Structure 1
Amino acid sequence: MTKVLVATEKPFAKAAVDQIKTIVENAGFDFALLEKYNDKSALLEAVKDATAMIVRSDDVNADVVRAAKNLKIVVRAGAGYDNLDLDACTANNVVAMNTPGQNSNAVAELVFGMLISMVRNAYNGTAGTELRGKKIGIHAYGNVGIYVAKIAKGMGMEVYAFDPFVSADKIKADGVTPLDTVEELYSTCQYVSLHIPATEKTKESINYALLNRMPKGAVLINTARKEVIHADIVKLMKDRSDFAYISDIMPDNKDDFAPFEGRYFFTPKKMGAQTAEANINAGVAAANQIVDYLKNGNTTYKVN
């Protein structure tokens, strides 16, 4: 029996679940669903006989992997995959994948939703500023960064990007100006949209020294991970009354931002991928990747 388990504490939309179920069953596999579980023991029980698993932000740690004796593949429906224990997956011969690109437009639109609200003073009746003609920097020019660039260009902004893993020619082909160093990006751009993953190298890398390079009226937009922001951003906001920080990730030290009312905004939970379209796209992609791997051995999106 090949069983595909969808295990989501934060459920997919019903339309997404229905499509995933159809894909799985049309492939000749059994479909199982675990939603809104409040205890880890429920997940450990559900994975015991699972061959494949689809999750969202659920923690697939070593305990979960060890409990899933038949598990061959786990797919995180989304771009980030720091909730997957890659070492445990590798040690237990489990392929780990993500679904890059499926949430990209949703995240990019949120970048500008938050940014416009900030530069227009949350629509409080006072005069704000326009984005046309301003410089925006994209830190990491991946799937989301490409969408951010398209929207920014449509708004008449000057668009710059830094990504050591993307060729300058590729960036230029999109009408974006590539920069050679991360320091140059932050020194050049009044607005920076952050899209780096949380790795040992990037955690706390967005710090006082880097952010203080930004021009007057700076806004940092973080739809990446909270772990990449150094806690000394609070000191920067104290030292620079012109600096603003907006994010769809609530920081652990959120109370430290209270003195800076009007210069920060955090969504109550991670919101980048919270659209009906992204919800369906990521879930369907995860199901298709599982079927393709189990039937054809395709490991295109393997991350371990």
Structure 2
Amino acid sequence: MSKVLVATEKPFAKAAVDQIKAVVTKAGFDFALLEKYTDKSELLEAVKDASALIVRSDKVTAEVIEAAKELKIVVRAGAGYDNLDLEACTSKGIVAMNTPGQNSNAVAELAFGMMISMARNAYNGTAGTELRGKKIGIHAYGNVGLYVAKIAQGIGMEVYAFDPFVDAEKIKADGVTPLASVEELYATCQYVSLHIPATPQTKESINYDLLRKMPKNAVLVNTARKEVIHEADIIKLMNERADFAYISDIAPDNKDAYTPFEGRYFFTPKKMGAQTAEANINAGVAAAEQIVDYIKNGNTTYKVNK
């Protein structure tokens, strides 16, 4: 019988675990749970007889893959999957998947929560500014980008997007203005909401030359990955431009360097884009359903490795 292991150092909510278990057991599979583990050895032991694995931000390394002798599929409950060693999965014939779209609204709402807080000076009693009428650029127009666009339109912002992998006509159909280059996006928009994945091509690609093009009172909003930011370049720009602000859904490695820029930055204490009850359940249940569909029907719709 197939065994589905949910291994999460940062646990799912109980409601999510209950629904994941219901999906798995209804399909006739065994269910196992490893939560709040403190040592990698616990994960290595737990995966030994697992046919399928669901993780959140947990690192599924080559060592984990090697220990998981029965593993057929691993699913990252969320959109990003840089915590999965895709090459190791492929070498062992293991299908790796993500659950795109399940956390999208939660991430988009967090982006706007941080933007509004920055615009209103963290509610410190002083006069702030409004988002209505401002230009926002969406860098990567995927599931999260679409939700960001919808919220921005509801607020009354002018919405632009750049994504070389999305047809311009589709972007236009959503009432968003597509731009021809990433440079044009940053030069046009006071706010830029960042949604690119961390890949060898994108790491540290958000750099000084790009960010200095942004208009006066620029705000960079990062709910993607910290690795895509050139951290030293952000500090350089903030030293040069007192009007530039940076807000991010995870603190950069050099967060102490931001101390002189009080009021112009905000970092969540840990990655919180998917930290809502709804997203927690949606991503976990989607992962379980994808596992069942793959094992029973061979469906590889959300496969991310070759």
TM-score, structure 2 as length reference:
0.99
> Deviation string for 1:97-146 (max 9, x for gaps)?
00000000000000100000001111111111111111000000000000
- The corresponding residue for 1:166 is 166
Aligned residue identity for 1:71: L
Q: In 2, distance between residues paired with 1:131 and 1:18?
A: 40
The alpha carbon displacement at 1:63 in A equals 0.3
The alpha carbon displacement at 1:91 in A equals 0.5
Matched, 1:289 2:256: no
The alpha carbon displacement at 1:264 in A equals 0.2
Moved over 6 A (4+): none
Q: In 2, distance between residues paired with 1:54 and 1:270?
A: 19
Aligned 1:173-252 pairs, distance under 5 A: 173-231=173-231, 232-252=233-253
Q: In 2, distance between residues paired with 1:277 and 1:187?
A: 36
SS in 2 for 1:47: helix
Aligned residue identity for 1:263: R
Q: In 2, distance between residues paired with 1:21 and 1:107?
A: 25
Aligned residue identity for 1:300: T
SS in 1 for 2:49: coil
Q: In 2, distance between residues paired with 1:153 and 1:17?
A: 35
- The corresponding residue for 2:11 is 11
Q: In 2, distance between residues paired with 1:60 and 1:160?
A: 36
Q: In 1, distance between residues paired with 2:113 and 2:21?
A: 33
SS in 2 for 1:28: coil
Q: Extract unaligned runs of 5+ from structure 1.
A: none
Aligned 1:60-139 pairs, distance under 5 A: 60-139=60-139
Aligned residue identity for 2:213: R
> Deviation string for 1:206-261 (max 9, x for gaps)?
00010000000000000000000002111000000000000111111101111101
SS in 1 for 2:288: helix
Q: Extract unaligned runs of 5+ from structure 2.
A: none
Aligned residue identity for 2:244: F
Aligned residue identity for 1:269: K
- The corresponding residue for 2:153 is 153
Q: In 2, distance between residues paired with 1:49 and 1:264?
A: 46
> Deviation string for 1:31-89 (max 9, x for gaps)?
00000000000000000000000000001000000000000000000000000000000
Q: In 1, distance between residues paired with 2:262 and 2:157?
A: 27
Q: In 1, distance between residues paired with 2:125 and 2:240?
A: 27
- Percent identity, aligned pairs only, is 84
SS in 1 for 2:230: coil
Q: In 2, distance between residues paired with 1:209 and 1:239?
A: 13
Q: In 1, distance between residues paired with 2:2 and 2:176?
A: 46
Q: In 2, distance between residues paired with 1:43 and 1:111?
A: 33
- The corresponding residue for 1:270 is 271
> Deviation string for 1:171-208 (max 9, x for gaps)?
00000000000000000000000000000000000000
Matched, 1:144 2:144: yes
